[in-house]
Amino acid sequence: MALTIHDLDTPAVVVDLDVMEANLARMAAFCRDHRLRLRPHTKTHKVPELAHAQVRSGACGITVAKVGEAEVMAAAGLDNILIAYPVVGALKVERLARLALRRAMTVALDSREAAAGISAGLHSRGASIDVLVEINTGFGRCGVTIGPEAIELARYVASLPSLKFRGVMVYPGNMLVDAGKIAPLVQNERTRDAEIVELFNRAGLPIEIFSAGSTPSAPITGDLPAVNEIRPGTYIYNDMNTVGSGACTLADCATTALVTVVSTAVPGKAMMDGGSKTFSSDTLRTGKAAGYGYIVEDPDAVVSGFNEEHGHLDLRASGRKYRVGERLRVIPNHVCAMINLHDQVYGVRGETVEVVWNVAGRGKLQ
Amino acid sequence: MALTIHDLDTPAVVVDLDVMEANLARMAAFCRDHRLRLRPHTKTHKVPELAHAQVRSGACGITVAKVGEAEVMAAAGLDNILIAYPVVGALKVERLARLALRRAMTVALDSREAAAGISAGLHSRGASIDVLVEINTGFGRCGVTIGPEAIELARYVASLPSLKFRGVMVYPGNMLVDAGKIAPLVQNERTRDAEIVELFNRAGLPIEIFSAGSTPSAPITGDLPAVNEIRPGTYIYNDMNTVGSGACTLADCATTALVTVVSTAVPGKAMMDGGSKTFSSDTLRTGKAAGYGYIVEDPDAVVSGFNEEHGHLDLRASGRKYRVGERLRVIPNHVCAMINLHDQVYGVRGETVEVVWNVAGRGKLQ
């Protein structure tokens, strides 16, 4: 007899496989249509089997955030891995060298210190790696400023043994805004991208890979002619922030937490058995929804707050009657943060549990 | 040669053992002085060895949030375990019954559904358990209202096989406020507690255990004469929210995240290699500090935001010079949420790593 979602204890992360497969196919088709290489960021799911599914659906390789995530993916047979994060420190560089001896690896970086450290560590071990120089197009996180210092860093990279300068990485993360506010940001990003291309061409360092990130910004990549590779992550599952950004609909959210109502003692409220240790405390950054998640069975309920193991449902606007013991499904605000709190996720087709995946990359913080 | 903190890769959670041991001793002494039983909430650390240290320093038993955490602690030899959370659903009740056959177990609950489910599941397996009725004294999370419904639920519990009514549980969680605002809340809590005692006495259901929670409220438990048992959790480590509540000082914060500066490319900022997947996104709820953590080496730096793996340092008020590759120590806003993201913590004496603990209870969400 097949396992069903009714056999799962709560809280549990449930992935609707039909929705997820449609999400994979849609992004792959978008990239084919727009002649973009797709290099999905696997930090969203951290499951090697899903990374393989992304490659089967047309990805050219994968993106990870940390050396530890790259090790998990490489051990599972993935290849052509971009670490979209500065690899700093001798311990990480040593592990990166071991990876680079077995797999095609790329790193993004924005400092001479990172470049010098990686070059020295890889060269002494006979390994080599591709490098993207990260450039700040407005998000203000990592990335050198557009101008002489970007060229100086690229030249420095090109001069070092074991490093090959391949292009640039940008993060249009400021695209995580309400759909209606996106147009001026797209215009700004397009102008910056053109400046970057012109700058590097003039310096005799033509950009081969121009990598841009994020699921919310993916749909507008067609309007960014410089970009030829994208690194969306969230699109495989989607979440309330993606809905709010206009990059997907509620029906495209593949992943929910299955929870149980554990208390209805306080008038006007109900408590579910998932709080910040199930969902994370990540707030909504986009859209019209409110609170810490969307109750599929009762859109009028507001997830008004979290404690570690309690999710507070404010029922003042809801006509629904809640009872202790019943189950609900909740779309999280930020699915990447939720997945990172779980050791397993359950892939379901209808109510049948078809597969259980280990979140093998979870906790690989170094 | 001894392992030192310089040998650890980042991000890593580091526990100063001298500070932690002083925290354990201080809370144990407070409880002895005030004739309170100490039943620490182990959700903060989730490490069985630390639960044993708490028992050695005078705790009467331990508190956990979930059945899965109770299983981890029981398997490691802990006994006299309170699950301070409604146990709802047949799968959890079956596991609770197995625990109750081997260990002295107590559960808190606030519904007839929870009581009936536990009674049926335990009775059929020949197990029994102590029960605390949870009462809402103002926090508005779980807990029945003070009045006839509280007595009705207690009578129902007392009438069911395999359940023994032992008393009440309250959560003065609204005590997590700035130190200056606490006096009226203490007065309110004292009034409510007295009502509860009077109510149960009149009903012929004398309260044997009156359990109150939380580290911020622990210091004022001496002013709550009804309370005879407390469940503080955070005190073993402490964090910025505890500092803000006035229940400890910065010097009492035993646990930091060791991080590396990975980027200084954006003017006025630096990036550290810990974000919401290292610290959680939990915001400050108390005190005068700002941001997402306290940089030990530079109190003028503001941790202005997190992405998953990036911690943004706003350096506009700082005179310190940052360089890629250097390490910092960061006191988190909410240490319980941070610990829950890590598989190991490193216990250090000075700079020497004296012990590595597995966070064995992490991820035991069911």
Question: For A78-128, what is each residue's pLDDT tens digit?
Answer: 999 999 999 999 999 999 999 999 999 999 999 999 999 999 999 999 999
Assigned token pair, A279: 């969902």
Taken in order B177, B183, B188, B189, is the CA torsion positive or negative?
Answer: positive
Across the interface, of B9, B113, B308, the residue whose CB is closest to A337 is B308
Read off the pLDDT of residues B164-184 as tens digits, 9 standing for 90 and up.
999 999 987 666 666 667 777
Half-sphere exposure of A286 (CA within 13 A, CB side): 24
Name which of A117, A151, A121, A116 is nearest A133 in CA terms.
Answer: A151
B230, β-bridge pairs: B38, B212
- Distance, in Å, from the CA atom of A229 to the CA atom of A36, rounded to the nearest integer, reads 5
Residue in chain B nearest A305 by alpha carbon = B141
A306, β-bridge pairs: A311
Residue scoring higher pLDDT (B138 or B211): B211
With an 8 Å Cβ cutoff, are B271 and A142 in contact? yes
In angstroms and rounded to an integer, the radius of gyration of the C-alpha atoms of chain B is 22
pLDDT exceeds 80 at position B119: yes
Assigned token pair, B327: 């390490």
Residue in chain A nearest B283 by alpha carbon = A281
Distance from CA of A216 to the nearest CA of B (A): 15
- Distance, in Å, from the CA atom of A128 to the CA atom of B282, rounded to the nearest integer, reads 40
Interface test with B, best of A9, A43, A258, A260 (most B CBs within 10 A): A9
Q: Can you spell out the DSSP letters for A207-249?
A: -SEEEEE-TTTGGGGGG-TT--EEE--GGGT--HHHHHHTSS-
> Which chain A residues have a beta carbon less than 8 Å from that of B111?
263-265, 324
Contact B147, A301 (CB under 8 A): no
Q: Is A341 exposed, middle or buried (0-12, 13-18, 19+ CB in 10 A)?
A: buried
**Confidence bin at B293 (pLDDT 50/70/90):** very high
Distance from CA of B113 to the nearest CA of A (A): 6
The stretches in chain A having pLDDT less than 50 are none
With an 8 Å Cβ cutoff, are B141 and A308 in contact? no
Residue B158's pLDDT is: 98
Contact B69, B81 (CB under 8 A): no
Residue A29's pLDDT is: 96
Q: How far apart are the first and last CA of chain A?
A: 41
Assigned token pair, B36: 């309170």
DSSP annotation of A11 reads S
Contact B69, B336 (CB under 8 A): no
Across the interface, of A111, A145, A342, the residue whose CB is closest to B263 is A111
Contact B336, B234 (CB under 8 A): yes
Domains observed in chain B: 17-237 (3.20.20.10), 250-358 (2.40.37.20)
For B249-308, the three-class secondary structure string (H helix, E strand, C coil) is: CHHHCCEEEEEEEEECCCCCEEEECCCHHHHCCCCCCCCCCCCCCEECCCCCCEEEEECC
Omega into B11 within 30° of 0, i.e. cis? yes
Q: Is A123 exposed, middle or buried (0-12, 13-18, 19+ CB in 10 A)?
A: middle
For B114-179, the three-class secondary structure string (H helix, E strand, C coil) is: HHHHHHHHHHCCCCCEEEEEEECCCCCCCCECCCHHHHHHHHHHHHCCCEEEEEEEECCHHHCCCH
Length of chain A: 366
DSSP annotation of A282 reads P
Residue in chain A nearest B139 by alpha carbon = A266
- Distance, in Å, from the CA atom of A239 to the CA atom of A237, rounded to the nearest integer, reads 7
User: Helix, strand or coil for residue A32?
Assistant: helix
Distance from CA of A325 to the nearest CA of B (A): 6
Q: How far is CA B31 from the centre of its chain?
A: 17
Mean pLDDT of B188-193: 89
Residue in chain A nearest B340 by alpha carbon = A277
DSSP annotation of A284 reads P
Question: Which residue blocks in chain A are alpha helix, DSSP H?
Answer: 17-33, 48-56, 67-75, 90-102, 112-123, 148-159, 183-202, 240-245, 276-279, 335-339
- Distance, in Å, from the CA atom of A276 to the CA atom of B39, rounded to the nearest integer, reads 23
With an 8 Å Cβ cutoff, are A281 and B337 in contact? yes
Read off the pLDDT of residues B244-277 as tens digits, 9 standing for 90 and up.
988 899 999 999 999 999 999 999 999 999 999 9
Contact B233, B42 (CB under 8 A): yes
- Distance, in Å, from the CA atom of B299 to the CA atom of A135, rounded to the nearest integer, reads 29
Name which of A311, A267, A11 is nearest B143 in CA terms.
Answer: A267
Q: How far apart are the first and last CA of chain B?
A: 41
Across the interface, of A9, A263, A307, the residue whose CB is closest to B91 is A9
Across the interface, of B12, B142, B267, the residue whose CB is closest to A263 is B142
For chain B, what is the mean pLDDT? Answer: 95
- Distance, in Å, from the CA atom of B87 to the CA atom of B164, rounded to the nearest integer, reads 15
Distances (CA, A) of B226 to B155, B196, B221: 21, 9, 9
What lies within 8 Å, CB to CB, of B236 at 6+ separation is B20, B23, B24, B40, B44, B45, B50, B54, B254
With an 8 Å Cβ cutoff, are A9 and B363 in contact? no
**CB pairs A-B closer than 8 Å:** 176
User: Helix, strand or coil for residue B80?
Assistant: coil
Distance from CA of A350 to the nearest CA of B (A): 22
With an 8 Å Cβ cutoff, are B262 and A85 in contact? yes
Percent of chain B at pLDDT exceeding 90: 87
Assigned token pair, B52: 């044993």
Residue in chain A nearest B305 by alpha carbon = A141
With an 8 Å Cβ cutoff, are B308 and A336 in contact? yes
With an 8 Å Cβ cutoff, are B308 and A145 in contact? no
Residue A113's pLDDT is: 98
With an 8 Å Cβ cutoff, are A308 and B336 in contact? yes
Read off the pLDDT of residues B316-364 as tens digits, 9 standing for 90 and up.
999 999 999 999 999 999 999 999 999 999 999 999 999 999 999 999 9
Distance from CA of B110 to the nearest CA of A (A): 7
